[in-house]
Amino acid sequence: MDKETFIRVILAAALMGGLFYAWQAWVKPKPEAPGEGPPAPAEAPATPGEETPAGPPAADDQAAPVGAETYPLAAVGAEEEAAPVVLGSAAPDSRFDLEAEIHPAGAAMRRLTLARKAFFETVADRELPAAERKPLHLVGPKAAEPAMAVEQLRLRLDGREGWGTVGLADVPWRVAEVGDDGACAVFEVDVQDEAGAPLATVRREYTLLPRSAAPAEADAGEPVPQYELRMAVEIVARDPRVAQGYYVLHGPPALPREGQRGDDREAVFGTWAQGQVEMGHVGGAAANKGDVPRVGPDMAWLGQRDKYFTVVMIPLVPAPDGGDVIPSSRPASGTFAAGGTIAARTVTEGRSEVPLPAVRLESKAVPLKAGEPVRHAFVVFAGPKDPDLLETYYSGIGLDKLVSWSRCCSSCAPFFAPISRLLLAVIEGLHAVVQNWGVAIILLVILLQIVMLPVTKWSATSMAEMQRLGPKMQEIRQKYADDQKKLQEEMAKIGGFRAFGGCLPMFFQMPIWIGLYGALLVAIQLRHSAFLPAAWIPDGSLFLQDLSAPDMLVHWAEPLYLPGRDLIWPLGWIVGAVENMLGGAEGITSVNILPIAVGVLMYVQQKIMPMSSTSSANPQMQQQQKMMMRIMPVFLGVVLYSAPSGLCLYITTSSLVRLVENRFFRHRWLEAAKAKAERAETAEPPGRPARAAERQSRVAGRKKSIGERAEAWIRRKVDEARKGQGPGKGRK
């Protein structure tokens, strides 16, 4: 394989890699409903504890033997269910950033809402007064399962084989205490044996923290956001027979879908490994297939995330001076958590049955003594995946890894993360000046194009070299098609391999493109941020009013669906994939103009770009190029049709800048390169023949090394001395 063929293979691989990246990042077919049996009911989800009546974790933190004998216990709560308890406030002027609604039924969290001063549900709410905006629920009132409920409690009694078990998720708990400041509440329930004798009391504590005071070194007077909810489970044995106990705790349910296309909702967990926390994630489809790892006792946290937000539970450890703290390193004996499990729950969204991940946390079996409470404390972080926030306050526990800088490949994230982080910082800096995220993206495009100007010029110069040498290279290929060694020698003589330098600049630009794509995906600042003022937009349009959503030049409420989803495979799958690209799981709800503009600009750019002489001399390659010119703009327009308008704005601006660059700069670079090539082909100017010969290597197409130049200089001096010439004589 010659070098030209090798470079073509590399370019083809890069193109295929880019298409695969786009497929993985944007074209995600909707998962099908499970084929075996009906979905689990919301009130009784299938859990590992129910599937296998196992005992608690053993003393060495390993899972208990499967098939341990169990017997029922009874739960005694309130005679009448009390009203829900609301902690904190979502009001824009409150001192809280969260509002939690705790129901006495199961002492479970039925609603967890972000304050409306920063986050709200739809882009239309942005124009409303802050107090009238629809709040954004991280745990919604219509969630498939209650959050943070004690699903199952098990107690081991002296003198009895096996474990007593009782479910506490549907029992009305007693409201034991509600704080005067509306920030804390305590719930209780009693557990009895079959004869009605009290065995233990279980207490649940919820404390919502207000916003912290602004740090002294901060320039702005804004308080630091507070997205923490403190939670505790306490077991108090009432009977001397109670020897051990453990429980299974519901985690947060899957978050609401964020965005039209692509489902970013996943179960996430962190585990301690080699002194730091490594993150794992499982989507609903993988959980539905059972392709999930078991989270062991090295677990640092467990929860859910979507594109912009996350809710995770962090087990705390006792502090030396009292209280409970987030561990900054793996505790020697671990935490009270024995691990976690991830299963799937099927819900209906649009026309599809979608599996969503459901998480459970299992505690270790702890010894119990009558009258001595055993308390397990958690921190529940519920808020935005803001890189600055997570890196500043939660990097020790690894929550900063919740920000995925690379969607195509998790192993690529360490390489692209610094690039994405830098580009996001540049966008934030530009926004601080212009106060518009769309304008900041446009300025970033112009800035990057200026930085890449030398690389672009190099590419244009190499293209001119390709055009000049194209006929000669084609002639050499045909003449020495059967002699690869001679072919390489002749190509080296005319400098043909150097002409392919024009293909290399794209490899310098690809990391920037991918890094910027990752930055725009994680930039929560773009969520509900407008590019054009709302006053400029006519009624019935949301054009560029949300840079994290499609541009929506025209939109409608009732979704449209493509016919043919019920056709045989693969036709039905292709229709579903195209429908997913055009509108996502909720159907087609808008006409988007920016993706169409991207395709048109790409086509125009291909038309005005000169075709390489190599391909023009080969009819087959010329036909392939024409076919790609027709297909790629259409493909790109379809793939980007429901992509975030911030990304489309970047690509559109970049295409326009390249068109201007081609119009005013590229032809000058090409002319200068051709003139330089013509001068190089002329004879060496008189007066410096010796020096020119010194620089020419014995090998065609390569300059002499420093050693060869020194040897030639010494030989010239010796020759001058033999002829009786002094230094400098014989030269004018």
572-618 tens-digit pLDDT: 778 878 887 887 766 788 899 999 999 999 888 877 765 544 444 45
Q: Measure the CA–CA gap between 524 and 54, rounded to whole angstroms.
A: 43
Q: Is the dihedral of CA 525, 183, 112, 398 positive or negative?
A: positive
Is the same domain home to 383 and 305?
A: yes
**504-525 burial, b for 16+ CB within 10 Å, e for fewer?**
ebeeeeeebbbbbbbbbbbbbb
Model confidence at 619, pLDDT cuts 50, 70, 90, reads: low
Is the same domain home to 208 and 227?
A: yes
> Is there a domain that residue 482 lies in?
yes
- Per the structure, the count of domains in the chain is 3
Is the same domain home to 609 and 468?
A: yes
Task: Give the tens place of pLDDT for each residue, 219-262.
Answer: 445 678 899 999 999 999 999 999 999 999 999 999 988 866 66
Contacts by residues 669-678 (CB-CB < 8 Å, ≥ 24 positions apart)? 669/457, 669/460, 669/461, 669/464, 670/460, 670/461, 670/463, 670/464, 670/610, 672/461, 673/460, 673/461, 673/464, 673/465, 674/464, 674/468, 677/464, 677/465, 677/468
- CA 674 to chain centroid: 46
pLDDT tops 90 at residue 267: yes
> How many helices and strands, by DSSP H and E, does the chain display?
17, 25
Is the same domain home to 452 and 333?
A: no
> What's the first-to-final CA gap in the chain, in angstroms?
50
Is the same domain home to 673 and 708?
A: no
Task: Give the tens place of pLDDT for each residue, 125-181.
Answer: 888 888 888 999 999 888 878 899 999 999 999 989 899 999 999 999 999 999 988
Burial class (CB in 10 A: 0-12, 13-18, 19+), 233: buried
Q: Measure the CA–CA gap between 317 and 300, rounded to whole angstroms.
A: 11
pLDDT tops 80 at residue 652: yes
Angle at 380 between CA 296 and CA 106, to 5 degrees: 90
Is the same domain home to 256 and 281?
A: yes
Whole-number pLDDT of residue 49: 34
Residues near 225 by beta carbon (within 8 Å), at least 6 away in sequence: 97, 118, 211, 383, 389
> Is there a domain that residue 683 lies in?
no
- Which of 286-290, 525-529, 562-566 has maximum average pLDDT? 525-529
* Residue among 310, 303, 309, 314 at smallest CA distance from 268: 303
Whole-number pLDDT of residue 28: 40
What SS3 state is found at 31? Answer: coil
Task: Give the tens place of pLDDT for each residue, 682-717.
Answer: 645 544 444 444 444 444 444 556 666 766 777 777
Is the same domain home to 371 and 244?
A: yes
Q: Measure the CA–CA gap between 407 and 329, rounded to whole angstroms.
A: 28
> Is there a domain that residue 576 lies in?
no
Model confidence at 397, pLDDT cuts 50, 70, 90, reads: very high
Model confidence at 304, pLDDT cuts 50, 70, 90, reads: very high
pLDDT tops 80 at residue 503: no
Is the same domain home to 95 and 160?
A: yes
Q: Measure the CA–CA gap between 378 and 312, rounded to whole angstroms.
A: 10
pLDDT tops 60 at residue 15: no
| Residue with tokens 């996350």, as numbered in its chain | 310
Q: Measure the CA–CA gap between 355 and 343, rounded to whole angstroms.
A: 10
Whole-number pLDDT of residue 406: 72
Q: What is the mean pLDDT of residues 88-107?
A: 93
Q: Measure the CA–CA gap between 339 and 635, rounded to whole angstroms.
A: 45
Compute the CA torsion angle 580, 586, 588, 592 (nearest 10 deg). Answer: -80
Q: Measure the CA–CA gap between 136 and 115, rounded to whole angstroms.
A: 8
> Is there a domain that residue 268 lies in?
yes
Is the same domain home to 441 and 326?
A: no
Question: Which amino acid is residue 135, in one-letter code?
Answer: P
* Strand pairing category for 70-72 and 163-166: parallel
Q: What is the mean pLDDT of residues 24-31?
A: 42
> Omega of the bond prior to 570 within 30 degrees of 0, cis?
yes
Whole-number pLDDT of residue 413: 65
What count of other Cβ atoms lies within 10 Å of the Cβ of residue 95? 14
Helix, strand, coil tally for the chain in percent (to 5): 40, 25, 40
Is the same domain home to 107 and 236?
A: yes
Q: Measure the CA–CA gap between 247 and 168, rounded to whole angstroms.
A: 10
Q: In degrees rounded to 5, what are phi and psi of residue 261?
A: -120, 145
Cβ atoms of residues 594 and 652 within 8 Å: yes
What count of other Cβ atoms lies within 10 Å of the Cβ of residue 294? 11
pLDDT tops 50 at residue 35: no
pLDDT tops 50 at residue 624: yes
Q: Measure the CA–CA gap between 264 and 565, rounded to whole angstroms.
A: 23
Q: Measure the CA–CA gap between 201 and 204, rounded to whole angstroms.
A: 10
Tell which of 375, 403, 431 closes a domain. 403
Compute the CA torsion angle 491, 493, 494, 497 (nearest 10 deg). Answer: 50
Task: Give the tens place of pLDDT for each residue, 545-579.
Answer: 999 888 999 888 788 888 877 777 787 778 878 88
- Which of 453-462, 489-498, 503-512 has maximum average pLDDT? 453-462
For residue 718, the enclosing domain spans 689-722
Q: What is the mean pLDDT of residues 329-355?
A: 86
> Is there a domain that residue 229 lies in?
yes
% of residues, the chain, pLDDT over 90: 37
The least confident of 126-135, 242-251, 390-399, 533-542 is 533-542
The least confident of 62-71, 350-359, 507-516, 688-697 is 688-697
* Residue among 363, 362, 341 at smallest CA distance from 282: 341
> Is there a domain that residue 580 lies in?
no
Compute the CA torsion angle 723, 725, 728, 729 (nearest 10 deg). Answer: -100
What SS3 state is found at 276? Answer: strand
Instruction: Name 295's bridge partners.
Output: 340
* Strand pairing category for 374-384 and 309-315: antiparallel
DSSP state letters, 657-703: HHHHHIIIIIHHHHHHHHHHHHHHHSPPPTT-HHHHHHHB-SSTT-B
Cβ atoms of residues 515 and 497 within 8 Å: no
Instruction: Name 114's bridge partners.
Output: 98, 136
Rg (CA), the chain: 34
* Residue among 200, 229, 261 at smallest CA distance from 26: 261
> Is there a domain that residue 312 lies in?
yes
Residues near 641 by beta carbon (within 8 Å), at least 6 away in sequence: 550, 581, 582, 583, 592, 595
Q: In degrees rounded to 5, what are phi and psi of residue 354?
A: -110, 125
Tell which of 403, 437, 465 closes a domain. 403
Q: Measure the CA–CA gap between 519 and 642, rounded to whole angstroms.
A: 18
Is the same domain home to 386 and 240?
A: yes
Angle at 125 between CA 181 and CA 129, to 5 degrees: 60
Cβ atoms of residues 407 and 521 within 8 Å: yes
Question: Which amino acid is residue 131, in one-letter code?
Answer: A
Q: Measure the CA–CA gap between 233 and 205, rounded to whole angstroms.
A: 7
> Is there a domain that residue 409 lies in?
no
For the chain, give the mean pLDDT.
Answer: 79
* Residue among 721, 698, 717, 718 at smallest CA distance from 708: 698
Is the same domain home to 646 and 703?
A: no
Q: Measure the CA–CA gap between 323 and 206, rounded to whole angstroms.
A: 15
Maximum distance among all Cα pairs of the chain, rounded to whole angstroms? 126
Q: What is the pTM of this model?
A: 0.77
Tell which of 354, 376, 403 closes a domain. 403
CATH number at residue 143: 2.70.98.90
